[in-house]
Structure 1
Amino acid sequence: METSTKGIGRQSLVIAAAVFMLIAAAIGAGAFGGDSVDELQNGALSAQGSYLAPAGPAFSIWSLIYLGLLAYTVWQALPAQRQDERQQAVGGWIALSMVLNGLWLVTARYLTLWLTVLVIALLLATLARIIVLLGRYPARSLADRLLTDGANGLHFGWVTIATVANTAAWLTQTVPEIGADAPDAWAVAVLVVVLVIGAASAWFTGRLAPALATAWGLSWLAIGRLTGEPESTPTAVTAIIVAVLLVVVGVVAVLRRRRLAGTRDRAPLGR
């Protein structure tokens, strides 16, 4: 009885977080009036806000992420998931990620730019925790893999590049002299760090979705630097290379994970 009550509580928490996320996202995005997101914070969050800002179409991935999170919310609320060990482990963290997701847009609209950096950093840390936990509790069904791993993997991958862009926008606004003499070099250096972190994440977790989402953002970052302002061919070329490498590492990591899983399944008892 206690376990069932705990499961219902977790399911209700996720539903409440999803509702908050949608309402906060609508308010933050200006659905009820006000500037669009790229006009907030004096344009710092626009595609021209920094050398590391993706072009506008990149943000269409949010539609897929929101759809995935809503589908997950409905699926996890089914009775079959009420006492599921995996959902009990990650449900609270996923709820927190959705709250922080909505809170970021509200912060961007009503508060300061540095607070958006703080919120998105907390969101990234929360999503990283979710990915780690998902690795400890393997999915038992295709629906679980698509809705829990897929939706949260895309969320994590996109927020990785969004955190870079958000931080770069804040630094550009507050301390523009940083990297002013060699902006291309600074941008390339940051992208190399993104590659190291993204590749390590893909390799050790064996997940492709985060790499795909990050690569999507990097691809539009490259387009933004080639076709818009600020223009930077070195940054664009580096972003393309990093995007390709992340996908390659992600694919290899998934194949490696499946091979290791198959080896364990075939291992004789007692070994």
Structure 2
Amino acid sequence: MRLLGLKLFNLASYMYLLVASFFLAGNFTNRSTDDVLVMPAPFAFSIWFLIYLLLLIFVFTSFFANEEMNEVVRKIGLWFPLSMILSGTSVVVGTTPSILFLALSLLTLCVVYTVLQSFPGLPEKYRASFSIYLAWTSIATIVDAFVVLKANKVEELFSIGELGWSVILLTIGGLIAIAFHFYHNDYFFPLVFVWGYGAIFAYQENSLIRFITGAFVIILLFIVLFSFLRKRN
């Protein structure tokens, strides 16, 4: 009964995420018109539809799960629905508080991902949706941080301007994507960064931003492709 209650709460949280994103948010793909240097092209936000679909599959199939799936649901517990509630809330609150809810959603997803990694030999199908969700939330948090700073007319932070912080955070994000692939043998996480960074490259005109995002797109694609081919052989 307790497990069924958790599954129902997952479903309710998922429905809240959908309602918040599609009906309560002013514009869930790009809630701010502020021009920030890490803003990806609008098409990039279509990845949310893939995330919603993957989460729906996970939530729906959990009601007809085998013991392995039930154990996954038990282990991730309330962290999963909490991440969806926080993510949904981030698009309905004002611009400034949105970063708090999005960052907390990112933290809860990190916990979920860590828990999944503790399962020895867990099939990739259980991790894939959370890898994509976590990766895109990571990028969205970076973007939203700059949107919030711009909205509050903050031009410098610790004597570093927007361009400097953009370079720093984009570099850190790209390195994290590489680390996720090698440390967790995760193909989906870096591919989401390829998608996000490619969209930033396509949308921005600043040469340094385009160089960094373009370089990471090439590096990540090469690493993923090389690892995939080596694994097949």
Q: Deviations over 1:87-108 (max 9, x none)?
A: 211242221122122111112x
203, 211, 230: which is aligned to 1:237?
211
How much identity, in percent, do the aligned residues show?
Answer: 23
Contact 1:7/1:83 (<8 A) preserved: no
Q: Deviations over 1:235-268 (max 9, x none)?
A: 0121111233334445667789x79xxxxxxxxx
Q: Which letter maps to 1:190?
A: L
Superposition TM-score, scaled by structure 2 size = 0.86
Aligned positions of 1:84-103 closer than 5 A: 84-103=70-89
For 1:36, the equivalent position in structure 2 comes to 27
* Aligned alpha-carbon RMSD (Å): 2.7
Contact 2:38/2:200 (<8 A) preserved: yes
For 1:75, the equivalent position in structure 2 comes to 61
Kindly indicate whether residue 15 of structure 2 is the aligned counterpart of residue 19 of structure 1.
yes
For 2:195, the equivalent position in structure 1 comes to 216
For 1:32, the equivalent position in structure 2 comes to none
Q: Which letter maps to 1:234?
A: L
Bigger Cα Rg: 1
Give, in angstroms, the shift of residue 156 of structure 1: 0.7
Q: Which letter maps to 2:167?
A: V
Give, in angstroms, the shift of residue 67 of structure 1: 0.6
Q: Gapped runs of 5+ residues in structure 1? A: 30-34, 226-230, 260-271
**Greater Cα shift, 174-183 or 209-218:** 174-183
Aligned residue pairs, count = 231
For 2:131, the equivalent position in structure 1 comes to 153
Aligned positions of 1:85-124 closer than 5 A: 85-107=71-93, 111=94, 113-124=95-106
For 1:269, the equivalent position in structure 2 comes to none
**CA distance, structure 2, for counterparts of residue 210 and residue 68 of structure 1:** 14
Q: Deviations over 1:223-245 (max 9, x none)?
A: 011xxxxx312101211112333
**CA distance, structure 2, for counterparts of residue 170 and residue 157 of structure 1:** 20
Contact 1:191/1:242 (<8 A) preserved: no
- Per the alignment, do residues 207 and 252 of structure 1 end up closer, same or farther by CA in structure 2, a change over 3 Å counting? farther
- Per the alignment, do residues 133 and 253 of structure 1 end up closer, same or farther by CA in structure 2, a change over 3 Å counting? farther
116, 128, 143: which is aligned to 2:110?
128
Contact 2:22/2:28 (<8 A) preserved: no
Q: Gapped runs of 5+ residues in structure 2? A: none
Give, in angstroms, the shift of residue 174 of structure 1: 2.0
Superposition TM-score, scaled by structure 1 size = 0.75
**CA distance, structure 1, for counterparts of residue 18 and residue 190 of structure 2:** 25
**CA distance, structure 1, for counterparts of residue 30 and residue 223 of structure 2:** 36
Contact 1:14/1:94 (<8 A) preserved: yes
